[in-house]
């Protein structure tokens, strides 16, 4: 949540920056927010993908054994 909030605040800073010296810290904050957002989201997505990996063959083939007949 902190990464998303920092990214949103930095995006507002991009819109409201009157000159380059205000835009540069906003751009830096945007980068830090994106790093925090994506580095915390990736493990969550990979954990969900690993949990559903075993169920995927059954969902595709419709068989209970996970393999096509």
Q: For the chain, what's the residue count?
A: 69
pTM: 0.59
Structural domain includes residue 67: no
Structural domain includes residue 39: yes
At residue 31 the predicted structure's pLDDT band, cuts being 50, 70 and 90, is very high
25 is in which domain, residue-wise?
2-61
Buried b (16+ CB within 10 A) or exposed e, 31-67: eebeebbeeeeeeeeeeeeeeeeeeeeeeeeeeeeee
Count: domains in the chain:
1
3-state secondary structure of 48: helix
Structural domain includes residue 17: yes
Strands (E) located in the chain: none
Residue 62 gets the label, from left (phi > 0), alpha (psi -120 to 50) or beta, of left
Residue 23 has pLDDT above 70, yes or no: yes
């Amino acid at each position: 949540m902190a990464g998303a909030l920092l990214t949103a605040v930095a995006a507002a800073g991009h819109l409201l920056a009157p000159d380059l010296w205000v835009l540069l810290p906003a751009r830096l904050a945007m980068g830090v927010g994106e790093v925090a957002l994506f580095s915390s989201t990736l493990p969550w997505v990979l954990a969900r993908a690993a949990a559903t990996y075993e169920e995927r063959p059954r969902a595709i083939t419709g068989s209970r054994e996970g393999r096509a007949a």
